[in-house]
Chains A and B, each alone.
Chain A
Amino acid sequence: MSLTDQLLAQNSVQLDSKIPAGPMADKWNTYKADMKLVNPNNKRKFKVIVVGTGLAGASAAATLAELGYQVDAFTFHDSARRAHSIAAQGGINGAKNYKGDGDSIHRLFYDTVKGGDFRAREANVHRLAENSVDIIDQMVAQGVPFAREYGGLLDNRSFGGAQVSRTFYARGQTGQQLLLGAYQQFSRQVGLGGIRLFNRTELVDVVVIDGRAAGIVVRDLVTGEVTSHSAHAVVLATGGYGNVFFLSTNAMACNVTAAWRAHRKGALFANPCYTQIHPTCIPQSDESQSKLTLMSESLRNDGRVWVPTNPDETRPAHEIPESERDYYLERLYPSFGNLAPRDISSRAAKRAVDKGLGVGAKKNGVYLDFSDAIKRLGREVVEERYGNLFEMYERIAGENPYDTPMRIYPASHYTMGGLWVDYELMTNIPGLYAAGEANFSDHGANRLGASALMQGLSDGYFVLPYTIGNYLAPLLNKPVPGTDHPEFKAAETAAKERFAGYLAVGGTKSPDFFHRELGKIIWDYCGMERTEQGLEKALSEIPALYEEFKKDLRVTGDAEGLNQTLEKAGRVDDFFQLGMLMCKDALDRKESCGGHFRAEYQTDDGEALRDDVNFCHVSAWQWGGDPMKPVLNVEKLEFEEVHLATRSYK
């Protein structure tokens, strides 16, 4: 009996993924044909809370409001336009086959399942690929200024892990333009009264009554006031947890709190060890650095990655002759070359730097060189394609990439793990949904480039508006618990006490200090390469540091007003608890797949070695009352359409 089946028999929570029957290509249409509907005039009787206003949240809130539901939207930013979706640079995939290069929904589906190292749920991925086509139409209708050819038609480029050009882009600011499109549609509904917007308001707890999501408790970041909000359904579109590493390409405020608070209330957290380390970020320059900056993967379309062959090389890049350069991606993965997927490219860079071949003052990067592209295409074309990225690099690194190759190194960028959801994007708590990066469902163990924007918009525009109706229809005219229910009051009290607790410690170190230290442990032992010994070390060091956090934290100011130090303390607390779960999950998964690379499980040439007999499952963890004692549940992954194969990009 395989480990997966043994674990399945021991599940404490029955995980029903609710995948519709029938052939893969028909499942979503079958679902839509069979789902329950809410009459247009009855939709206004339902209230839906949407937390987060990034691509998934804004698009869900806007669409639900258009349909007629009452929507309350919450963001901790000052405006719905600030969410971190805005920072995505390279593009969004859409299986339009506008280039006539053989793309199709099936191919995008296959590439995504393969790119995820066969650890995603097939049916969800197929739906994502189907929706990708509608997303492009929808965003163009809204006026998103995608790049165009001279004839006026849309332009495409290619991205890692794909051999077709299916990526739509708006210079190096695709995320910005898509988010602004969704934000504008969202704002229209705010203006029309379909959405009530609560800005500078952070979720501090999720309330579950009689087994259903009943609402949320929030803290007004300006006044410090803690209040309750009830609804028929709650959507968490609150992003990923990459900031657990402290240094990441996430925005400073990105955090796991909403997902973690839901987890503590019973929602299962799936595959937390699947984190993506993006290969092309600007290397760390000094100890005080607060975040890392991504350089779009699209740069690998024209940039060539290399390191000098001599570890003692001291010459500037342009003086190193061709014969003394190792274009290692082109050498190791000839068919994909510089466009090998992210996990593979990242590990290859790490191996080069670990061998002492790194470049730059700290020898902590590899070159991404555009000199051939400039020779081939001319500086003007390169500037047209990547001008704003080159400027950004120069501002941060102080070097001009037209003359000197960029220096890049992998950094934490995206988290594939997240709240467990079924086919309807509902967590195991009825009425509680998770969308976008906050859920786990579509990317398996590794996400392909230009797929995060696609997933956020697919969930928000084309999945939730259908599936939420299916949940709400039977609840028509049934009363829901109000905010005067004792569970809301208890959650408010607990939240207030938690914040008062941080203020009362009166220690000597700031929340940032602990976050940085936590991040170092996670990066060292649960980063690009993991080992049993390292993870065990992390699992002894994190609880010790967490104890110190509880005894020696210092938060100044008070809870009755704006206090950014206090906000940070709450987020770091949740990162500590998540960090323990991440390491547990990584220790538990005795195989290598995608972003989860266990050094013990690799092929002779250093590639990830999966164990499809024992680990072809989703690890969905249940809160066990103590962050060190989570309870494992599994969902077996069944592949109907795609054959499990060793992922090769050679």
Chain B
Amino acid sequence: MSNTIKNITLKVWRQAGPTAQGYFETHSIPEITDEASFLEMLDILNDRLVTEGKEAIVFDHDCREGICGTCSLMIDGQAHGPQRGTATCQLHMRKFSDGDSITIEPWRASAFPLIKDLMVDRSAFDRIIESGGYITAETGGAPDANLIPIAKPIADAAMDSAECIGCGACVAACPNGAANLFTAAKVAHLNRLPQGQAERYSRVESMVETMDEYFGSCTNHGECEAACPKEISIDVIALMHKDYRKAKFANRKDLARS
């Protein structure tokens, strides 16, 4: 059964552009059904703002099913808000109470420059994938899919890290603005699989080094794991470090041969 939540106060970050001065703007939501999602509450507010002749609050969102990774709000200082393992778009108002005051901010990290209001530029993630987050298998000529059996535990572990939605909550939650969880999730997905072995060491080396161009360093706070909507374990970071260390030797030997 649905209930109504009353008197919510929102403090929303507004910033006209990357170089403009940002500020918090206060809005009141007199009542909202607890069946509404957090983003539906913002839709209703935006509709009201437009009708009043004001500019709508800009925020990134799309699938609203917790899978595309577009939504990206810092809610009361927590990436994606208070519910564990849940992206902003899957957060519902039933998690809030009458009279709550909620602060909404964009992801804050130097690698994610602000575009407007609550929207940031996460292209640095794409640069990491472009540098090696793939298995080279050009279209055509692939062998039969069942040719290489993959033990179920390995396939399952690869899937666990492949679930990353690339939202950037890990970076936003990290005091250093590091992208180790994001990068390591992709490394762990591909480096665990038999298909990924040929490029295992070149992959990890170039991905880690591209990551370091944009992002801060990991100091094992573990905030990323707590913020991850897919609850990806920081164990993958250990795997990435291990492979990176090996890569520095393996790749040097390969270079010497060529």
Contacts and interface: CB of A to CB of B under 8 A. Distances in A.
Interface of A: 59, 62-63, 66, 77-84, 86-87, 96, 98, 134, 136-143, 145-154, 170-171, 173, 175-177, 180, 183-185, 187-188, 190-191, 197, 199, 222, 251-253, 285-286, 288-291, 293-294, 361, 391-392, 395-396, 398, 461-462, 465, 508-510, 512-513, 554-557, 561-565
Contacts, number: 227
Given A96-B145, A556-B55, A512 B63 contact: no
Interface string B162-195: 1101100000000000000000000001100101
Given A142-B135, A293-B65, 20 more contacts: A78-B123, A79-B125, A82-B68, A87-B67, A137-B145, A143-B195, A154-B146, A171-B163, A175-B67, A187-B126, A188-B130, A199-B123, A289-B40, A290-B37, A294-B65, A392-B90, A396-B90, A554-B50, A554-B53, A556-B55
A509 B58 contact: no
Contacts of B165: 176
B65 to A, nearest CB: 5
Contact of A153 (B1, B60, B146): B146
A188 to B, nearest CB: 5
Interface in B61-75: 61-70
A134 to B, nearest CB: 7
Contact of B54 (A185, A396, A556): A556
Interface residues of B, number: 79
B115 A392 contact: no
Contacts of B62: 77, 82, 84, 251-253
B255 interface: no
B155 A148 contact: yes
Nearest to A222: B115
Given A59-B139, A78-B123, A141-B137, A554 B51 contact: yes
Nearest to A190: B130
B150 A152 contact: yes
Interface centre among B125, B138, B190 (most CB of A within 10 A): B138
A251 B67 CA distance: 10
Given A78-B123, A143-B195, A396-B90, A137 B143 contact: yes
A137 B147 CA distance: 9
A285 B2 contact: yes
B139 A62 contact: yes
A561 B146 contact: no
B102 interface: no
B53 to A, nearest CB: 6
11 contacts: A82-B62, A137-B143, A140-B148, A142-B137, A143-B137, A170-B162, A199-B126, A251-B62, A251-B64, A290-B37, A291-B64
B152 interface: yes
Interface stretch (B41-49, B219-227, B241-249): B41-49
Nearest to A62: B139
Interface of B: 1-2, 17, 32-33, 35-37, 39-40, 43-44, 46-47, 49-51, 53-56, 58, 60-70, 83, 85-86, 90, 92, 94, 115-116, 119, 121-123, 125-126, 129-131, 133-139, 142-146, 148-152, 155, 158-159, 162-163, 165-166, 189-190, 193, 195-196
Nearest to B44: A288
Contact of B144 (A137, A293, A461): A137
Contact of B64 (A141, A148, A293, A513): A293
B68 A512 contact: no
B116 A561 contact: yes
Contacts of B36: 286, 288-289
A398 B94 contact: yes
Given A145-B162, A398-B94, A98 B58 contact: no
Contact of B166 (A81, A151, A177, A222): A81
Given A82-B62, A392-B66, A510-B47, A138 B139 contact: yes
B40 A143 contact: no
A145 B193 contact: yes
B129 to A, nearest CB: 4
A148 B152 contact: yes
B59 to A, nearest CB: 8
A143 B189 contact: yes
Given A82-B70, A170-B159, A508-B51, A252 B61 contact: yes
B70 A143 contact: no
B145 A154 contact: yes
Contacts of A82: 62-63, 68-70
Nearest to B69: A82
Contacts of B49: 556
Contacts of A66: 138-139
B68 A152 contact: no
A188 B133 CA distance: 8
The 5 tightest CB contacts between A and B, nearest first, are: A152-B149, A191-B130, A184-B134, A141-B142, A141-B137
Contacts of A462: 139
A153 B137 contact: no
Given A140-B145, A513-B47, A63 B139 contact: yes
A77 B70 contact: yes
Given A137-B143, A289-B40, A143 B61 contact: no
Nearest to A140: B145
Nearest to B136: A188
A288 B5 CA distance: 14
Given A84-B63, A187-B129, A512-B47, A143 B159 contact: no
Contacts of A139: 145
A125 to B, nearest CB: 21
Given A187-B130, A285-B35, A86 B40 contact: no
Contact of A84 (B55, B60, B68, B166): B68
A292 to B, nearest CB: 9
A180 B130 contact: no
Interface centre among A136, A146, A361, A396 (most CB of B within 10 A): A396
